[in-house]
Amino acid sequence: MQAVILAAGRGKRMGNLTMATTKPMLKIKGKPILEHKINALPKKIKEIIFIVGYRSMDIISHFKRYYGGRRIIYVFQTNLNGTGGAIHLAKSILRDNFLVIYGDDLYSKKDIQKMLKHDLAVLAKEVDDPSKFGIIKKNKKGHILDIIEKPKKSKDNLAATGVFMLNRSFFDYELVSVGNGEFGLPQTMAKMAKDHKIKVEKATYWHAIGNPEDLKKAEKVLHKFI
């Protein structure tokens, strides 16, 4: 099975930390975020597709063409047109079912393993402030009804964490614009939900790394993700 890791952005909220390297290569306990992420992938993942952009050579020189027994492929996203746009760049090399994972957060190995049981799925976690996230509405059977981006008021509090199981039916749908020339992966999946059953899996652990404070905290919580 293939895994797509989205790692093209700089991570401007990290400030000066990403002047000299890209955000997914910032280190936690001496290792890049991406290295921890790859180590959390189930053995079923045999091939990794990195979507790279800003300071791409930092990633390429570290992981090269093979890493940890897995083949590595690099796809360049020179026009940062969103997560949906990133997946379309890899369309020609993606086969059947594939995992998609954001390149800058920490996820539990067990949670990722759960995702591989489905053809289509989203990993979600309850949050205190829904206005900061893409919030999932689901039916009684645990399938997606919709995803609302940063709602001002919401009774729902399940946030999409940035881990998705997809198949090639994703490419049958026109990408959904999220503004500023970007197209969203979660929003396009919500569009798919009218025709497909997309399972919502609840995450045990999720540590979003959005700013320098989150990176420092990652040092203390890393043991939960190993």
Q: Where are the domains of the chain?
A: 2-224
Which residues make Cβ contacts (< 8 Å) with residue 56, sequence separation at least 6?
8, 22, 74, 76
| Token pair listed for 39 | 């180590």
CA–CA dist 1, 18 (Å, integer): 31
Nearest to 142 by CA among 99, 105, 193: 193
> How far apart (Å, rounded) are the C-alpha atoms in residues 163 and 205?
12
Given CA atoms 159, 164, 165, 170 in this order, what sign does their dihedral have?
positive
Taking the chain (226 residues) in runs of 10, the rounded mean pLDDT of each run is: 96 90 95 94 96 96 96 96 97 96 94 96 94 92 93 90 97 94 94 97 94 94 83
Residue with tokens 């959390």: 40
In this prediction, residue 149 carries a pLDDT of: 86
Residue 1: predicted pLDDT: 96
Is residue 103 a contact partner of residue 119, using CB atoms and an 8 Å limit? Answer: no
Distance in angstroms (rounded) separating the CA atoms of residues 6 and 4: 6
pLDDT for 12 equals 87
CATH fold of the domain at 2-224: Spore Coat Polysaccharide Biosynthesis Protein SpsA; Chain A (3.90.550)
Q: What pTM, to 2 d.p., does this model score?
A: 0.94
Query: What is the structure's pLDDT at 177?
Result: 94
